[in-house]
Amino acid sequence: MNINQDLFATFAFHAGLMAVKTLGMAFATVKQRISNNNVMTKEDASMRPGAKIGVGVNEDVERVRRAHQNDIENIFPFLTLGFLYLFTNPALSTATSVFRIFSGARIMHTIVYLWEVPQPSRAIAFFAGMGANLYMGYKVLSTFASAM
Amino acid sequence: MNINQDLFATFAFHAGLMAVKTLGMAFATVKQRISNNNVMTKEDASMRPGAKIGVGVNEDVERVRRAHQNDIENIFPFLTLGFLYLFTNPALSTATSVFRIFSGARIMHTIVYLWEVPQPSRAIAFFAGMGANLYMGYKVLSTFASAM
Amino acid sequence: MNINQDLFATFAFHAGLMAVKTLGMAFATVKQRISNNNVMTKEDASMRPGAKIGVGVNEDVERVRRAHQNDIENIFPFLTLGFLYLFTNPALSTATSVFRIFSGARIMHTIVYLWEVPQPSRAIAFFAGMGANLYMGYKVLSTFASAM
C-alpha cells in the first residue's frame, strides 16, 4: 500500500491543477454574467437593476456553464481514477505522460469551447482526456478485479 | 493510518467501476444526440446540417443527461466516503457488501432510468445507493467526530 | 508519504460532513418537488396524478437544484484539494481552521440560498469557501510544482 513519492507528487500536481482549473470556471461564468447583465436569482437582481434573471437566457453565459459541466463530468472522475492508478504499479514516466495528456487535453477543451474554435477541435480535446481516463480505469479494474 | 490491503483493493475496484460507469454516460448521451439529431452548440451543427441546437429540445437526450447528473450527485460523494470509510476499521465482509450494494444499486438506477421501467423501481435503486452512502457517512462522522 | 493521524482525522471529519451535506440536497429537492407537485419524468407522474412534469417549471424546485449544483462545483474539488493539502506539511491548527472555514461557509451558503437571504450574504459565503479552496490549491501546486 506504499507508493513511490515521485509518483504521488506527479499526481498531486496534476490533480491540484485540474481541481483549481475547474474552480476557475466559476469566475469565467461571473465575467459572462456581468458582461451580459444576466443574473441567476431575484436576490441577485437587487444588486444589478435591469438584469435579466434566469438560466438559459444568454448563450454566452450558457456556453461557460456547459464547459464547466463538462469539466465536472470528466475532471472529477480523474481525481479518483488518477489516485487509484498510482496503486497499479505504473512506471513513473508512463504515469507522468498520462497525467500530462489529461491536463493538456482539458485545458485545450476549455480554450476551444470558450473561443468557439470550429469542430472537430473540441471533440479531439474531449476524447484525449476521455482516453486518458479510460486507460487508467482499465488499469485499475484489471489490477483489482479479483477484489470484486 | 495503514489500511488492510484487501480492504483497499475492494474499494479500488468499486470506485474504479463507478468512475468508469459515470464516464460511460457521455457515450450514452452522444448516442441519443445522434439518434435524435440534437447538438449542443452552433459549431457542432456545422458537422450535422439540419440538427436541432440546444439543451432541453429532445426528451430522450434530456433523460440520459438527467441520469448522468444523478450519477454525479451520488457517485462522486461515494468516491470520497468509500475511501474515508476504509479508515473506520470496518470488517472486510461488511465493507465488501456495502460497496457491492452501492455499485449494484447505481447500475440498476441507470438501467431503470434509461429503459423507463415504471416507478418505484428508480426510487428503490436511488435509495439503496443513498442508504449505502449515508451508512458510510455515519461511520466516518462518528469515527472522526472528536477531530471536528 | 505518511501523514499525521490528527491531521488526517480533521480532514476525514470535514470531508465526510461536506459529502453528506451534498447528499442531503437530494432530500431538499424531493421536499420541494412534493410541495410544488413538480415531478421530473412521465413515469414519476404516474405516482402523482396532476403533477407538472419537467425541469425549470417551478422556481422553488430550481432554487434547491442550483444550490445543489453549487455544492457540486465547490465541495467536490474540496474533497480532493483537502486531501492533497495534507501532504503539504501544514500545521494542524492551520489545517483545522481552513477546513472549518470551508465547512462553515458552505453550510451558510445553502442556508442563505434556500431562505433567500438578501445579497451580498450568498456572495460572501461563496467567496469564503472559494478562498479556502484556492488557498489549499496554491499550497498543493507550489509544493508539487517540481513534479509537473
Q: Detail the DSSP E strand segments found in chain B.
A: 38-39, 52-53
What confidence category does residue B1 fall into, taking pLDDT thresholds of 50, 70 and 90? low
* A12, A23, A41: residue with CB nearest C77: A23
DSSP secondary structure of chain C: ----HHHHHHHHHHHHHHHHHHHHHHHHHHHHHHHTTEESSHHHHTTSTTPEESSSS-HHHHHHHHHHHHHHHHHHHHHHHHHHHGGG---HHHHHHHHHHHHHHHHHHHHHHHTTPPTTHHHHHHHHHHHHHHHHHHHHHHHHGGG-
Neighbours of A129 (CB within 10 A): 26
| C143: Cβ contacts below 8 Å, ≥ 6 apart | A12, C87, C88, C89
Residue C61 · residue C38 · CB < 8 Å: yes
φ, ψ at C54 (rounded to 5°): 130, 175
What sign does the CA torsion over A107, A110, A115, A118 have? positive
Give the per-residue pLDDT at A135.
Answer: 98
* C81, C130, C147: residue with CB nearest A9: C147
- Check A16 against C84: CB less than 8 A apart: yes
Give the per-residue pLDDT at C1.
Answer: 58
Q: What is the pTM of this model?
A: 0.94
Residue A61 · residue A36 · CB < 8 Å: yes
> What DSSP state is assigned to residue A148?
-
Answer whether A13 touches C (CB < 8 Å): yes
Residue A1 · residue B2 · CB < 8 Å: yes
Which residues in chain B are closer than 8 Å to A135, comparing Cβ atoms? none
Q: Using the predicted structure, report yes or no on whether residue A47 has a pLDDT greater than 80.
A: no
Give the per-residue pLDDT at C135.
Answer: 98
Read off the pLDDT of residues B85-111 as tens digits, 9 standing for 90 and up. 999 999 999 999 999 999 999 999 999
Q: Using the predicted structure, report yes or no on whether residue B5 has a pLDDT greater than 70.
A: yes
- Check A23 against C76: CB less than 8 A apart: no
ipTM of the complex, rounded to two decimals: 0.92
Average pLDDT estimate for A107-112:
97
Give the per-residue pLDDT at C42.
Answer: 81
What confidence category does residue B148 fall into, taking pLDDT thresholds of 50, 70 and 90? confident
Mean pLDDT of all residues belonging to chain C: 93
Q: Using the predicted structure, report yes or no on whether residue C126 has a pLDDT greater than 70.
A: yes
Chain B closest-CA separation from residue C89 CA (Å) = 16
**Position C39, amino acid:** V
Rounded-to-integer distance, Cα C67 and Cα C87, Å: 31
Answer whether A60 touches B (CB < 8 Å): no
Average pLDDT estimate for A59-65:
91
Which cell goes with C59?
Answer: 422556481
- Chains A and C: how many Cβ contacts under 8 Å? 84
* C13, C40, C44: residue with CB nearest B144: C13
Choose between B64 and C51: higher pLDDT.
B64
Residue C48 · residue C40 · CB < 8 Å: no
What sign does the CA torsion over B58, B64, B67, B72 have? negative
What confidence category does residue C99 fall into, taking pLDDT thresholds of 50, 70 and 90? very high
For residue C49, whether the previous peptide bond is cis, meaning omega lies within 30 degrees of 0, is no
Q: Using the predicted structure, report yes or no on whether residue B48 has a pLDDT greater than 80.
A: no
Chain B closest-CA separation from residue C132 CA (Å) = 17
**Residues of chain B above pLDDT 90, percent:** 72
Read off the pLDDT of residues B119-145 as tens digits, 9 standing for 90 and up. 899 999 999 999 999 999 999 999 999
Residue B104 · residue B132 · CB < 8 Å: no
Read off the pLDDT of residues C12-58 as tens digits, 9 standing for 90 and up. 999 999 999 999 999 999 899 988 888 888 888 877 777 888 777 78
Give the per-residue pLDDT at B147.
Answer: 87
Exposure on the CB side of residue A71, measured as CA atoms within 13 A = 32
Answer whether B5 touches A (CB < 8 Å): yes
